[in-house]
Each structure stands twice: as C-alpha cells, then as structure tokens.
Structure 1
Amino acid sequence: MDTMKSLHWFVRAVELGSLSAVAREAATTQPTVSKAIAALERDLGIRLLARTTASLAPTTEGQRFYERARGVLAEFDAAVADARGGTASMHGLLRLNAPVALGQFRLNALVHEFLDTHPGVEIELILNDRMADLVEEGVDVALRLGGALPADAVARHVADSPRWLVAAPGYLERRPAPATPAALADHDYVRFAWLATGNDVTLNDGTRTVSVRTAGRYRVNNALAIRDSLAAGAGIGLCPAWLVDDLLAAGRLRRVLPAWQGEPQALHLLYPGRRYQPVRARALVGFLADRLATLPGFVAPSLP
C-alpha cells in the first residue's frame, strides 16, 4: 500500500466530501480511491469514513486522524521541498476562495502570475460572497473583505481600500449633489443588502464622525450589481476604491462629498488554524500578501 497516497486521498475525501471528487482531482477512478482508503482502514484497524449512498463524512476517530494526517502530509511536503531546493518542488492543488467581484476584477491576473511561476501547482478559484468554512470545504486560502472573521482561522491583514461616496454624472444632473452628510437622506441610496447597520451610514472627514440615516428603494447582495447600478444613475452609494476607481478615472462616476469617507474596507487573507501548511499554500499566502496592497484601489494597512 502507498501510505502517503492513501493518506492524501483520505484527507481530500474528508475535505471534498466525495470519493468521486477525489478521483477526478487525482485523475483516477472512484473504485481505486475507495480501495486505497479501505486498505488504510484495515491497516489501522479503525473505520475512518462513514459512507452512505448520499453522503460521506469522517467518523469520530476519522476526524481525529484527519487532523493529524494533514500535519503529516504538510511535514512530508516541506521535507521534500527542502531536499529538492525549496519551492522548485511545489506541486499539487490549492483551493482559493474569494468574493465574486474581487475575484473577477483583481484576483484573476494574480492567480495566473502565480501559476506561471509555479508550473507544478493547480489552483481552483471559488468565487462567492459568503464566509466559507475553510476546513469543511477544503479551502487552503481565502480572501475576505471587511466583516467579522471566523475565530477558527488565521487572519492576516494585508490591505485596506478607502470607501467613497459616488454617483453617476447623469444622476447628479437630475439631483444636485448633497452639500452635507445630512443631505444624503434626501437622495436615492444604493446599498449592499443584509448590512448589519441597515440604512445607517457612518462617515468621517478626519476630525468628525457622523451617522446618517439614508433611504433607497434598491438593495442588492452583489458588489458588481451595485457598481453597474450606480454607473447607470440609480443613486448614490458608498463603495470601496478597488470596485470603482476605474469608473471614476473614466468619468462614469464622480465623488460625492469628497471630504468625507467611510471606514476603510479591510482585506484579510485567511487560512485554516492549524500548525502546518503545505509549502504551496505558504507560498501562495506570501505571494498574495506582497501583491494585494499594490493593486489599484488598495493601500497597505496602517501600522498599529
């Protein structure tokens, strides 16, 4: 039995929740994966996975073994990399999770640059706007913009994006720009749905902080839809610079109340809270940490 391969397939089975998914990832067959894990179970004398026709999950013993097995694989990966000269030996799959708009606008080019540098690495980029469970979904690295961060993950603050009030020239021709934050209440305000603060917007000018109750008929849970709506003249919105800096440069949007801005949107890199990471995951974290703050609309975070 190839123990390291069996360990790897078992770990990926837990993370992907499917032997078929593991087989597709490994370019082999589902029966081959199943036999390898069954042989590992016989060798250990314990049942690692509970299988039904509809689901697959680790047993209590399997979950404990999974946590240790990940560390073993990471240590082995690091040892091989060290013996072969560091990152030159990097290979395997990385699962990267990011918000939809950030992935499409800013992340795609960086991913391809990383892949060009490390030809043995594969990346599966999963774009969604919800907070992924890194362990349950087998995510190696995640990017998150603002909001609360999971307690069971390591979070690294890598960049900030200023947030500005913006509107289209056509809207401002119909509705003159507000002269004070309080005047926002008289405008159509476009915002992200499900915000904990609701219609309340907090702004500061460097010396003062004010809170304004806005009103609007349109709320949406997608940053790209907000961007498009504002450019089409739907109203005023508070947007991070990375989302709208190109529209501002092209004149399709204008700053409103330019002396005022919202709290900067923090960008964090997340990875599972465990001691070891595969070499390729550590390399990706380091690469993104170095590059994200240099992207348009982002700045390096202020020192504490």
Structure 2
Amino acid sequence: MDTLRAMRYFVRVIELGSISAVSREEATSQPNVSKVLRALEAELGTRLVERSTAGLTPTDQGMRFYRRAKGVLEEYREALDEARGLTERPAGLLRINAPVAFGQLRLNGIVQRFMSAWPEIEVELILEDRYVDLVEDGVDVALRLGRRLPPDAIARRIAASQRRLYAAPAYLERRGTPAAPDELAAHEFIRFAWALDAGTLPLERGGESVQVPAGGRYRINNAMAIRDAMIQGAGIGLCPEWLVDDLLTSGQLAPVLDGWSAGAQELFLLFPSRRYQPLRARLFAEQLEAEVATLPGFA
C-alpha cells in the first residue's frame, strides 16, 4: 500500500467531508478512494470513519490519526520543497491572498512590477476580506490589515497607516465642520459594518484620548464602497491614510479634526504554517516589504 497516498486521501476525506469530493480532486474513482481507505483502516487495525446515509464522520481514533497524518504530510511537503530549493529558479505559480481594497489600490502595481522582474513566475492574486486557511487553500503569501490575526498565524508586521477622519467638502459645507471630538455626535458617520467598537469612536491627540459617540444610519462591509460613499457626501468616515491619499490630493476629501487619530492600522505579511518558503514567495515578500514602505499613507 502507498501509505503517503492513503494518508493524503484520508486527510482530504475528513476536510472535504465526502469520498466523491476527494475522487474529483485526485482525478480517480470513488471506489478507488474507498478501497484505499479500507486498506488504511486494515493496516491500522481500527475504524477511522463511520459511514452512514448522512455522510462520513471521523471516529475518535480517526480524529487523532487525522491530526498526526496532516502533520506528517506537511513535513513531507517541506522536505520536498527544501530539496527542490537547492536548485530552484524563480519560476512557477505564486498564489497571493489580500484584502480587496488594498489589492486594488496598492498591491496590483507591486505585483505587475514583480512579474516584469521575474518573467517565469505566474501570479494568482485572490482578493477577499475574509481570513483563509493558507495551507488548505494553497496560498504562498497573504496580507492582512488590522491586529486581529488567526491564533496560529505566522505573521510579520511590515507597515502601518494612521486612521483619521475624512469627509467630502460638499458634506462639510452642508453640515458644518466639527471643531472638537464631541461635535461628531451631530454628524452622519459612515461605519464599517463589522466594527467591534460599534457606536463609539476612540480618538487620540498627543497624550489626550477620548471616546466619542459616532452614530450613523449607513454601515458598509467594503472599504472601496466606504470611499465612494464619502466622495458622494454621505458622511464622515474613519479611514487609514493609504485608502484615501489620492482623494485628499485631488480635493475630493478633506481631513476632519486635524491632529486627532484613532491609532494605526497595521499591515501584516502572513505565510503558511510551514518553515520553508519557495524562492518565488521569498522574492515577492522582499519586494513587497521594500515597496510598501514607499507607498503614500504608509510608514
């Protein structure tokens, strides 16, 4: 029996929840996957999954074996990558995951320059705001904004951008410009839909800090849509400088309560939970760190 193949089939059966999904992924038949799983159970002398009309459920022994088997497969992949890296050229597919707005406004240009420098590297840029399992989704490098990271993340902080208040000049002409934090309560505030500090806004200036109410009827779960709403005069928004730098330069937005901020939004570089990184991923990470430091709105 090909033990590594059997372990791979078993691990994916647990993760995908069905034999048919694994057979499609492995380009083989369902009976073949079932046969391999039965052979693995026979070799181990224990039942790994319970089969029923509702699907497959791992037994207690199966879950313990799944955790160990997944670790063994990751170690095996590391060993292969490391061996290949001894003679590796910067080539192949690089999968990058990043937040939507950052990808559109800042990352796309960096990726284009990277591809020009390394013509044998292909790039798949996946833009989404949700957290993904880097190993399971085959991601080589990920970028995340904010301090809330997965507990097992292998992350490196590479930059930060101050979060400040902005609004369109037309909105400020219509509603007036706040002169102090407590005047924000009389204004429309465009909020991120899943903000943890809903209803209040922490602001600081020098050594002074305040918590002010920040009410508003409009909540959005996308940074690009928040930009657009602010341009249209829907209200005051709290944004990192990198997100609105171009709009400040063009005069489409203006700062509100200059000198006050809500702290920095941090940018992290994330890697899969394996020690070795392909050369293409290491080269991209190096270029990314060097270029982000020069982008408008980042420090």
**Is the Cα–Cα contact under 8 Å of residues 12 and 138 in structure 1 kept in the other structure?**
no
Residue 12 of structure 1 corresponds to which residue in structure 2? 12
Size of the alignment, in residue pairs? Answer: 294
Question: Counterparts in 2 of 1:219-258, with a 5 A limit?
Answer: 219-258=219-258
In structure 2, distance between residues paired with 1:184 and 1:3? 64
In structure 1, distance between residues paired with 2:38 and 2:125? 27
In structure 1, distance between residues paired with 2:93 and 2:34? 20
Q: AA paired with 2:43?
A: D
Q: AA paired with 1:294?
A: E
Q: Residue 88 of structure 2 aligns to a residue in which SS?
A: helix
Residue 80 of structure 2 corresponds to which residue in structure 1? 80
Residue 39 of structure 1 corresponds to which residue in structure 2? 39
Residue 216 of structure 2 corresponds to which residue in structure 1? 216
Q: AA paired with 2:268?
A: H
In structure 2, distance between residues paired with 1:299 and 1:146? 13
Q: AA paired with 1:63?
A: M
**Is the Cα–Cα contact under 8 Å of residues 165 and 237 in structure 1 kept in the other structure?**
yes
Query: Per the alignment, do residues 261 and 109 of structure 1 end up closer, same or farther by CA in structure 2, a change over 3 Å counting?
Result: same
More moved, 194-203 vs 283-292: 283-292
Residue deviations 1:25-62, cap 9 Å, x none?
Answer: 44444444444333333332333334445544533222
CA drift at 1:229: 0.9
Residue 127 of structure 1 corresponds to which residue in structure 2? 128
CA drift at 1:259: 1.7
More moved, 262-271 vs 227-236: 262-271
**Is the Cα–Cα contact under 8 Å of residues 95 and 138 in structure 1 kept in the other structure?**
no
For normalisation by structure 2, the TM-score amounts to 0.75
Structure 2, unpaired ranges of 5+: none
Residue 180 of structure 1 corresponds to which residue in structure 2? 180
Query: Per the alignment, do residues 269 and 20 of structure 1 end up closer, same or farther by CA in structure 2, a change over 3 Å counting?
Result: farther
CA drift at 1:22: 3.6
In structure 2, distance between residues paired with 1:27 and 1:104? 35
Query: Per the alignment, do residues 109 and 165 of structure 1 end up closer, same or farther by CA in structure 2, a change over 3 Å counting?
Result: same
Q: Residue 263 of structure 2 aligns to a residue in which SS?
A: strand
Residue deviations 1:229-279, cap 9 Å, x none?
Answer: 11211011001223223333333222222322111112334567xxx6174
Query: Per the alignment, do residues 266 and 45 of structure 1 end up closer, same or farther by CA in structure 2, a change over 3 Å counting?
Result: same
Higher-Rg structure is: 2
CA drift at 1:127: 2.1
Question: Counterparts in 2 of 1:1-304, with a 5 A limit?
Answer: 1-86=1-86, 88=88, 98-107=98-107, 113=114, 125=126, 127-129=128-130, 131=131, 134=133, 143-269=143-269, 277=274, 279-280=276-277, 284=281, 287-288=284-285, 291=288, 294-295=291-292, 296=295, 299=298
CA drift at 1:147: 5.0
Q: Among the aligned pairs, what percent are the same residue?
A: 49
Structure 1, unpaired ranges of 5+: none
For normalisation by structure 1, the TM-score amounts to 0.74
